[in-house]
Amino acid sequence: MDKASRLHGTVLDCTCKCELRLGVEEMQDFQGALKDLSEEGYAKLKASMLRYGFSFPEFVWHAPDGWKTLDGHQRLRVLRQEGWSVKGGVPCVEIEATDEREAKEKLLLAVSAYGKVSAQGLYEFVSAADIDLAAFELPDLPGLDMDAFNAEFYEEPASPVGDTSAAGGKDWIDLVLRAPAEKVSAQLLDEIHKFAQQHDLSFITDDESRPDRRYWGDWKKGEIVKPE
């Protein structure tokens, strides 16, 4: 029996707690063609479901003719296409709506993104937990170009001017900011980061307690440069 045959009929663990459980066949699509799922996105979603189980509940509306899915259509698509089920039924949260119009308005709210993920914020967030984003295969995040993010924070950059380094070199000037440790706050470093970014500068600190804040600009990894 090949791998595809073994996976067909897989029963996923439910890794969230919900009292309402429904069978896949009970849940009707309600989103139509509102969102697309690329082949790459499908593969990532499928892999994440196999790895983590069914981790988040579906949002459903109990319409007069049955249960309508407001949010979670792509995971249902994977369940149906792969012939999978969820142990104990698909976990759901019932969303109240007086009619189809209100249900669709709430569906739009569910798929909307109010906040945007910042590149620096994401880097600090995953670094604190030592998460390898390349291995994690994170899906697209609202307002963030993942290719540009990986290039900025994880790829080794080419030296911008001849044979130079983070310690300085030809056509480079190194400035050293000296201050008592208690005066150098995270807010101050953030402001210096922003200034460096706005003026196309590179910024390096010797704060070994915060490796995620050590580099800004052309150098994100490499030798730590400390003032003499």
pTM, two decimals, is 0.62
Evaluate whether 67 touches 61 at the Cβ level (below 8 Å).
yes
Domain hosting residue 212, numbered range: 165-228
Across 52-71, average pLDDT: 96
Cα distance between residue 100 and residue 32, in whole Å: 14
Residues 136 and 177 in one domain: no
Does residue 85 belong to any structural domain of this protein?
yes
Which strand (E) or helix (H) includes residue 215? strand 215-216
Strands (E) in 72-214, as ranges, are 85-86, 90-94, 203-204
Residue 119 has pLDDT above 60, yes or no: yes
Distances (CA, A) of 133 to 136, 138, 200: 5, 6, 26
Task: Determine what percent of the chain is predicted with pLDDT higher than 90.
Answer: 39
Nearest CA to 48 among 18, 74, 26, 23? 74
Side-chain-side CA neighbours of 6 within 13 Å: the count stands at: 4
- Find the mean pLDDT for residues 136-157: 74
How many domains does one find in the chain?
Answer: 3
Residues 41 and 89 placed together within one structural domain of the fold: yes
Residue 196 lies in a domain: yes
Together in a domain, 100 and 130: no
CATH number of the structural domain spanning residue 45: 3.90.1530.10
